[in-house]
Structure 1
Amino acid sequence: MATYKNYLNDIIQLDKLHLNPYKLKEISVIIVPILIGPISFLWALIYLIYGQYTAATIPMFYSFISLFNLWHYKKTNNLLAIQKTQMLLVLILPFLLMWVLGGFANSSYIMVWAFFAPIAAIIHEKRGEAKYWLFSFLALMGFSVLIDPWLIAHHKETMPKSAKEIFFFLNISASLTGIYYLLKFFVYNKNRNITTKLKEKNQQLLEYTKELRTMLYIDSLTGLKNRTALLEDKNKRDSMVLILLNIDRFSQINDLFGEKFGNRVLIAFSQLLKNNLKIYKNCEVYRLSGDEFVILSGERDAKILTNNIAQLVNYINENPLEIEDQEIALHITVGISTESTEQLLPTANMALKAARRSKKSIIFYTEEISLNEEYENNIRWIKEIKEAIKEDRIVLFYQPIMDNESNEICKYETLIRLIDQEGNIIAPNKFLEIAKKSKLYKQLTRIVIQKSFEAFKENDFDFSINLTIDDILDKKITTMIERTLQNYNISHRVIFEIVESESIENFEKVEDFINMVKSYGCKIAIDDFGTGYSNFEHLMKLQADFIKIDGSIIKEIVHNKRSEIITSVIVAFAKEMQIKTIAEYVENEDIHNKLIKLGVNKSQGYFFDKPQPNLP
């Protein structure tokens, strides 16, 4: 009785309990004998009172079989036996009882009990097998219809009308209650499975994110943090000193011993740096690229810092690396900057160049060593940009984006170019950064937007326009974009590419802009994904439709396993989020074939076509 009461309590509180899958299945199976068994015994007694002795034997038989099933299960723990037995009895016995009581006219309500079998089959059997229980129920229904006239003719009525009404009420109430609890289990178990799957998917995405962040921030050769990690770390920490180290004439080592040996030198050198810097607090080592390394230090005292770096330089110069029985003597040049966070890396690079020119090992950046020619260059370009704007020499080039499935052009990216006074085509890397510093950049953005819409208004191609976060936060630019979307009836073909590597501080305004352009049918692409912050949360918040995988990853994808893994992780995540992927810098057929194999949706690069001044 105690076991019976426990099971009954579990059934009543099914949606409040946190049960394992086996326990849930156990409850769903024994619910039938636990509910119907006692009811059947009560039915048998009532039939006996009214003299329906043959009818009484059927529910009495079921009641005893149910008790036996429960006892047998407790002994053997054979859940399948009780499941099959109960489903078979529940299907056949209600029809037998209905036939004994005179068919449909006297007892059609009893037939409802037989419907437990197909319902239980839906829950427990394989999806294809459940239909056979339903067909069996329908077959017994059909047979009952055929023999019903004979049953009416040969049945002698012995039960009063009031008793039949009571039986009708009790049967319908009890059977529907049982069906309710079976369906309750089914819905609960289904919801539970959905919740479990969602948790598994979420965990999988978290693991993807963790794996991707590890690969993005760690240099695969040396195990040091890489440029991406440096750019992020220096923005998180105040009052840092950046020390840029370069191995002198490292290319000679590669030429003499080969690239593999050169890689071993870089690994040994990185370990040497880590070992020598362990004694200093608040100090981190990074591999920037090739033979360039960075130390980010919290030491601001110039004398202490100079002494520490001098000791490191002397140690490296005086202690050759031993690799494959070869002694490799290294010498390094160091540029140090204590400037503001944004200027740390470029000014350290200036100091490094100054050290090389003066043949010194270490130089701190000062305004005196800042390259005057760079200032002159900036002034020249500012003048050039202003004149180009005035004379309408800011033009657009168009690069196709191919669909990897159909191998056809599906859209174009609009790219800015400057035509100088001699007619030369100037790439944006020559003038965009200077334009940003001189406050001319937003004028260029407005020109690109206007010319892009004009170029595509008469064709059917989708096209993308690059925007920075600063563009989006500029009220004049967003107002111009909305006005342009209203004036040109092509907004459903517009894709705005947002540079993913930029931090987003005022996210509310960015979200307002995205909601605005999406209301016109535009789409959002995240540019240069895989570098910078690579924040998966941004993809959700930015409502991204496309991810453009950064070219620095794509260019190495055939020969660099790390690049392949990063791409596969991005593709897997994008598929989960129903976001399309676009690969940048696809330079040859091998890269293109690899991208198709990895499931990247679209490709862009010189393998298909370089940016052109005219659309087809």
Structure 2
Amino acid sequence: MNAAGSVFIVIDNLDDISSHFGEGVAARVLAEVARRLERTLHVPFAVEPWGLAASPFDFADGMPIWSRVDEAICSAASLPIAVGNNRIVVALSHSASLPELTAVRRTASQNSAQDYRIDMSAAALAYDALFNARFALVEQPVCRAGSESDVLYSECVVRLSDEDGRVVMPGVYGPALERLGLTRVFDRRIAEAVICELRRRPDVVLGCNMSVLSASVDLWWRVTFPRLLSEAGIGHRLVIEIAETVRPYSFETIIDFVSHVQQAGCRVALDDFGTGFSSIGYARHTRFNIIKIDAARIRTRGSDAPQLLGHLISLARHVADEVVVGAVECDVDLAGARAAGAQWVQGFLFGRPQMPSQPLERRMPPMEPRTEARMEQRRALARAGAAR
């Protein structure tokens, strides 16, 4: 499988799955990933200890091979794999060079088997809800500190529900996805859903949250994301919010990602400035458009809180065009934010996250237009074949 043009697909978390669920479960996961990819790409894959390999191949419709492979592995990773009573979410990577691919594989999880299984259950719950369209985007406005009718944008917050209709809050699954390295496909699907909202509602500006671990210029962000924006002309109405709740893989990768998204016409916000893993030097070099400060965490500093908030706002205004103070829940919070120099504010004082007035009915997972068109063509061909 070393011929030029070969396709290598690695299950990045296969070693963790084997360690915490057993080699038998890992083998069945590997076989199911191969089945899903073969069904989507219509080519055979050889099963290797590290993942899958396929000989060079092309597509009759002329679509670039790596764009099709990228779509296929995203689809394969979107639905948890059931093995007995376990549901497993996989992280997949692809390359034309196996050494290149394995060089960037993440280190094995340091969690105990019990903690790893608990995290995987939470991740499977989130992916299952997303795949089966059991989610909604609720919105909370970012308002000018002196005039709540002046809205900078509305932040979209994901609300998932389980099979019984109970709401699953981000705190249940978000940290688990980050600990397991499973944020990339999840965040991509949410970005697609927010773009659908922007297409549907030409009068709004929306913010889309994502983990810092997803902020890497992979094939989707490099090729598909700019195309989706240019087709609809909506880049200037999208704000990508990067949350640094964990240490990023590489600060250089984040800087490249922010620059790339800005070149596509979007603004980028750094969330939780002053409480995450970023520094003022990093924020200056990254050139974020918006910096958000979580006032709730600042208020825990007691009597030093007003001075600290004012200091953070002053620093942020030197490195970003706009500064937002979040967690403004009452008039006292608002007065404190304004006294500290806040330009924009966000919080329950201006409304809890709410559904849009005409929410989009989701009958299936979000899908980019060209993928949907190709699937309809395949359905038509299948119907024609059955008629014969």
Alignment TM class, shorter chain as reference: 0.5 to 0.7
Q: Does 1:569 align with 2:311?
A: yes
Cα distance in 1 between the residues matched to 2:116 and 2:249:
31
Q: 5+ unaligned residues in a row in structure 2: which ranges?
A: 1-106, 359-388
Flag the structure with larger Rg.
1
Shift of 1:576: 3.7
> Bigger relative contact order, structure 1 or 2, given CA contacts below 8 A and separation 6+?
2
Match of 1:129 in 2: none
Shift of 1:451: 0.8
**1:360-416 CA distance string (max 9 Å, x none):** xxxxxxx6xx7x5x5664454344234323311133221111111222233111112
Residue among 407, 428, 438 paired with 2:148: 407
**1:278-306 CA distance string (max 9 Å, x none):** xxxxxxxxxxxxxxxxxxxxxxxxxxxxx
SS of the aligned residue for 2:276 comes to coil
Residue among 190, 201, 222 paired with 1:448: 190
Cα distance in 2 between the residues matched to 1:598 and 1:475:
39
Cα distance in 1 between the residues matched to 2:316 and 2:124:
44
In 2 relative to 1, CA 520–615 (structure 1 residues): closer, same or farther, beyond 3 Å? farther
Cα distance in 2 between the residues matched to 1:451 and 1:379:
24
Cα distance in 2 between the residues matched to 1:506 and 1:550:
23
**1:81-126 CA distance string (max 9 Å, x none):** xxxxxxxxxxxxxxxxxxxxxxxxxxxxxxxxxxxxxxxxxxxxxx
In 2 relative to 1, CA 586–382 (structure 1 residues): closer, same or farther, beyond 3 Å? same
In 2 relative to 1, CA 436–556 (structure 1 residues): closer, same or farther, beyond 3 Å? closer
Match of 1:607 in 2: 349
Aligned residues: 249
Match of 2:212 in 1: 469
* Aligned amino acid, residue 454 of structure 1: C
Query: Normalized per residue, which structure has more strand?
Result: 2
Match of 1:81 in 2: none
Where do residues 578-597 of structure 1 align in structure 2 (5 Å cutoff)? 579-597=321-339
Match of 1:497 in 2: 241
Cα distance in 1 between the residues matched to 2:330 and 2:309:
17
TM-score (norm 1): 0.37
In 2 relative to 1, CA 440–470 (structure 1 residues): closer, same or farther, beyond 3 Å? closer
Cα distance in 1 between the residues matched to 2:108 and 2:307:
32
Does structure 2 conserve the Cα–Cα contact (< 8 Å) formed by 1:530 and 1:566?
A: no
Does structure 1 conserve the Cα–Cα contact (< 8 Å) formed by 2:144 and 2:344?
A: yes
**1:424-473 CA distance string (max 9 Å, x none):** 11111111233345554222111110111111222322221123332122
SS of the aligned residue for 1:407 comes to strand
SS of the aligned residue for 2:148 comes to coil
Cα distance in 1 between the residues matched to 2:320 and 2:260:
21
Cα distance in 1 between the residues matched to 2:209 and 2:120:
26
SS of the aligned residue for 2:215 comes to helix
* Aligned amino acid, residue 465 of structure 1: C
Does structure 1 conserve the Cα–Cα contact (< 8 Å) formed by 2:287 and 2:319?
A: no
In 2 relative to 1, CA 439–594 (structure 1 residues): closer, same or farther, beyond 3 Å? closer
Aligned-pair identity in percent equals 22
Shift of 1:511: 3.1
Cα distance in 2 between the residues matched to 1:453 and 1:467:
14
Match of 2:294 in 1: 550
Match of 1:392 in 2: 133
**1:125-149 CA distance string (max 9 Å, x none):** xxxxxxxxxxxxxxxxxxxxxxxxx
In 2 relative to 1, CA 501–562 (structure 1 residues): closer, same or farther, beyond 3 Å? farther
Does structure 1 conserve the Cα–Cα contact (< 8 Å) formed by 2:208 and 2:240?
A: yes
* Aligned amino acid, residue 475 of structure 1: D
Q: Does 1:538 align with 2:282?
A: yes
Cα distance in 2 between the residues matched to 1:512 and 1:503:
16
Does structure 1 conserve the Cα–Cα contact (< 8 Å) formed by 2:244 and 2:278?
A: yes
Match of 1:180 in 2: none
Shift of 1:600: 0.4
SS of the aligned residue for 1:562 comes to helix
In 2 relative to 1, CA 490–506 (structure 1 residues): closer, same or farther, beyond 3 Å? same
* Aligned amino acid, residue 511 of structure 1: I
Does structure 1 conserve the Cα–Cα contact (< 8 Å) formed by 2:109 and 2:180?
A: no
Shift of 1:556: 4.4
Match of 1:427 in 2: 169
Query: Normalized per residue, which structure has more helix?
Result: 1
Does structure 1 conserve the Cα–Cα contact (< 8 Å) formed by 2:183 and 2:214?
A: no
Shift of 1:547: 1.2
Does structure 2 conserve the Cα–Cα contact (< 8 Å) formed by 1:587 and 1:605?
A: yes
* Aligned amino acid, residue 432 of structure 1: G
In 2 relative to 1, CA 389–498 (structure 1 residues): closer, same or farther, beyond 3 Å? closer
Does structure 2 conserve the Cα–Cα contact (< 8 Å) formed by 1:554 and 1:583?
A: no
